[in-house]
A and B are shown apart, each in its own frame.
Chain A
């Protein structure tokens, strides 16, 4: 296909470019994406009424991977410590649910604030470093927090997990039931709100400045901006998102385990983001749905050897669509657009 494109004479290409209809505005495309997520989510509710448990987990994970996209895709911060922020939110919401409040929305706020504060505190420290050092530091923060959660058994339940998280009905009306209907719709609403807010943030002057820092921090500094300030700011925003995702998981599953602060969980977020494509928010959603969907189908078809197949699937994506699924789709769409008469 590339051969065909390069062979075309220069004049023809120029003509083809002018023939492309004007791209719809950014705001319009953002609105379409949100509508797609909400519509797809509702469709899934009707199509898979018996799989809502898994689907709820996917939605909460989407929000978590989205939080990673904010720092990795928009700021270029390579982190393997996103679970630290997720777990902080999950434990904060879990502990609050056991001892203080039971309103699910309030619990999400608690999780978000806790995740944000943790990101602010650790971000101010670790973002002094770059590259591999930064990567190591984010791993270290996660490990420290996990060990802390293990040690504070009286508060967190240690390795047994923090159970007994029993939130009140949403808005006092909808009880969390065994079929997971409330959980699912609640998670979908939270995700849609999360995506809209994330869109506003990355399109804002602050979001654009963060992109500038990613492209060329020296230049931003020369223009009088503060690269590190922006990075810490976005890291904190990402912490709020991750914290809300953690709280959402705690509220919908009723338990928080040490796995929510594990290195594996950080790494999985990265895998899902790379799979979907980093740097445009929707990759996070697409990648999470694809990874967890494939994971689920394979694991239920063959609970004993599914890991082999998921490995092959990931290798295929990395080899044939280096920009992730959304990158691959965009490339194909671009080719189709160019070849269209």
Chain B
């Protein structure tokens, strides 16, 4: 077939499809790429469950169009595979939206694709600030390390703490967190006495604890990816007597995410974190969200920040479908939700028109023992926090 003929045929087909669009009720597919197997399967599971909770509460149709979710498993950070999956979703499944993405490189990999296919991509988790700079069609409903660390640094300073040491895992998000905390804390007049970067896979933290002890800091700012490393770090912090010595433990809320709390046990008590969602958040909407989750899945142990990321992401997809009347117009869809404000289980949200990351309340929480085990109890709320890392944050 000659290219001219092919283009003509394609044009006709698109034209017909556009004309037929508003008249027919269609199925709009959303492709979700996330880890559903392997060590990070819990994250994908929380995405899927939150989507189901949202659909149970709001129905599966928008203006006559049915929204259908297609799930693709990407068990670890693997950008090349992420791109191949996205390609399949776009070309074969003909999805109108991409969503999910737990790891930053996987989200970055699809930028050229969404630009070419002109479809919006809603990031449920990946938290490096730079992602949304790569394409105007990225929208993020999670958070960034900057967003969590800047208000925490202010809070720590206001508590009268003068000397802090930072200890982060040596990879992108860890370094983002360290930079954000250090910049803000020093600007406020505090002193960061030392910055420790720990290998991502290390599980023996005794040497680092010794360094923390010797540094004479009154508090630490720590960030490690959720999971076994965090457990080992928190346990080492207790066992080496740093907690008993009165050194305070601060960090972004990944380290005390709800699914890890039972395993952390008493080691988590007293850790103060800043984050956008706690399962214990006191609002009618959150109670309804958690109750629906319990009704559908029998347990609420996995309800955590990735759940609300997916829940709010689904909300935005519904809003975009509504704004475009089910037609495929990525730019119009994203334009329609810029500046959108809405109420989420985590509290009030607004989409920042520039960074397309949500502006949200950051809560300072302390891990305490509640009626059914450990909870992240909110002790302070700092409203309207944008992504401080968007352009120039670095």
Do A and B belong to a common assembly?
A: yes
- Rounded to whole angstroms, the CA-CA distance of A96 and B37 in the bound complex is 34
Q: Which of A50, A151, A166, A259 contacts B79 (CB 8 A)?
A: A259
Q: Which residue of B lies closest to A147 (CB)?
A: B199
Chain B residues within 8 Å of A46, by CB: none
CB-based A-B contact count at 8 angstroms: 119
From B79, B86, B111, B199, name the one whose CB has the most chain A CB atoms within 10 angstroms.
Answer: B79
B169 to chain A: closest CB distance in Å? 9
Let me know if B170 is at the binding interface, CB within 8 A.
yes
Q: Which of B71, B76, B78, B104 contacts A160 (CB 8 A)?
A: B104
- Rounded to whole angstroms, the CA-CA distance of A50 and B95 in the bound complex is 13
Let me know if B288 is at the binding interface, CB within 8 A.
no
B71 touches A303 (CB 8 A): yes
Contact string, A248-267, partner B, CB cutoff 8 A, digits 1/0?
A: 01000111111110001000
**8 Å CB contacts to A: which residues of B74-98?**
75-81, 83-88, 90-92
Q: A57-B80, A150-B171 are in contact. Are A50 and B88 (CB under 8 A)?
A: yes
A163 touches B109 (CB 8 A): yes
B294 to chain A: closest CB distance in Å? 21
Let me know if B188 is at the binding interface, CB within 8 A.
no
Chain B residues within 8 Å of A260, by CB: 80
Let me know if A278 is at the binding interface, CB within 8 A.
no
- Rounded to whole angstroms, the CA-CA distance of A339 and B128 in the bound complex is 64
Let me know if B292 is at the binding interface, CB within 8 A.
no
B178 to chain A: closest CB distance in Å? 12
Let me know if B392 is at the binding interface, CB within 8 A.
no
A42 to chain B: closest CB distance in Å? 16
**8 Å CB contacts to B: which residues of A173-210?**
177-180
A53 touches B171 (CB 8 A): no
Let me know if A159 is at the binding interface, CB within 8 A.
yes
Let me know if A45 is at the binding interface, CB within 8 A.
no
Q: A158-B171, A160-B172, A177-B116 are in contact. Are A257 and B37 (CB under 8 A)?
A: no
**8 Å CB contacts to A: which residues of B100-119?**
104-105, 108-109, 111-113, 116-117
B88 touches A255 (CB 8 A): no
Chain B residues within 8 Å of A56, by CB: 84
Chain A residues within 8 Å of B26, by CB: none
**8 Å CB contacts to A: which residues of B174-205?**
175, 199-200
Q: A177-B116, A303-B36 are in contact. Are A159 and B88 (CB under 8 A)?
A: no
A160 touches B170 (CB 8 A): no
Q: Which residue of B lies closest to A180 (CB)?
A: B87
Q: Which of B37, B77, B109, B112 contacts A159 (CB 8 A)?
A: B77
- Rounded to whole angstroms, the CA-CA distance of A121 and B364 in the bound complex is 52
A142 to chain B: closest CB distance in Å? 13
Q: Which residue of B lies closest to A300 (CB)?
A: B72
A253 touches B83 (CB 8 A): yes
Let me know if B65 is at the binding interface, CB within 8 A.
no
Let me know if A54 is at the binding interface, CB within 8 A.
yes
Contact string, B54-86, partner A, CB cutoff 8 A, digits 1/0?
A: 000000000000000001110111111101111
A253 touches B80 (CB 8 A): yes
Q: A303-B71, A303-B72 are in contact. Are A54 and B84 (CB under 8 A)?
A: yes
Q: How many residues from B make CB contacts under 8 Å with A?
A: 42
B116 touches A53 (CB 8 A): no
Q: A177-B116, A307-B37 are in contact. Are A255 and B83 (CB under 8 A)?
A: yes
Contact string, A154-172, partner B, CB cutoff 8 A, digits 1/0?
A: 0001111101001000000
B90 touches A160 (CB 8 A): no
- Rounded to whole angstroms, the CA-CA distance of A95 and B260 in the bound complex is 38
A295 to chain B: closest CB distance in Å? 10
A341 to chain B: closest CB distance in Å? 48
- Rounded to whole angstroms, the CA-CA distance of A255 and B111 in the bound complex is 10
Let me know if A305 is at the binding interface, CB within 8 A.
yes
Contact string, A135-149, partner B, CB cutoff 8 A, digits 1/0?
A: 000000000000100
Q: A160-B128, A255-B80 are in contact. Are A54 and B38 (CB under 8 A)?
A: no
Let me know if A130 is at the binding interface, CB within 8 A.
no
Q: Which residue of A lies closest to B104 (CB)?
A: A160
B73 touches A153 (CB 8 A): no
Q: Which of A57, A158, A163 contacts B81 (CB 8 A)?
A: A57
Q: A150-B171, A254-B109 are in contact. Are A159 and B104 (CB under 8 A)?
A: yes
- Rounded to whole angstroms, the CA-CA distance of A159 and B225 in the bound complex is 13
A121 to chain B: closest CB distance in Å? 24
Chain B residues within 8 Å of A177, by CB: 116
Chain B residues within 8 Å of A53, by CB: 83-88, 91
- Rounded to whole angstroms, the CA-CA distance of A161 and B200 in the bound complex is 15
A306 touches B73 (CB 8 A): yes
B175 touches A253 (CB 8 A): no
B residues apposed to A, CB below 8 Å:
36-38, 41, 71-73, 75-81, 83-88, 90-92, 104-105, 108-109, 111-113, 116-117, 128, 130, 134, 170-173, 175, 199-200
Q: Can you list 7 pairs linking A and B with CB atoms under 8 Å apart?
A: A150-B171, A157-B105, A158-B172, A166-B112, A179-B91, A256-B79, A305-B37
Which 7 pairs across A and B sit closest by C-beta, in order of nearness? A53-B87, A161-B105, A50-B92, A159-B171, A303-B73, A53-B84, A253-B80
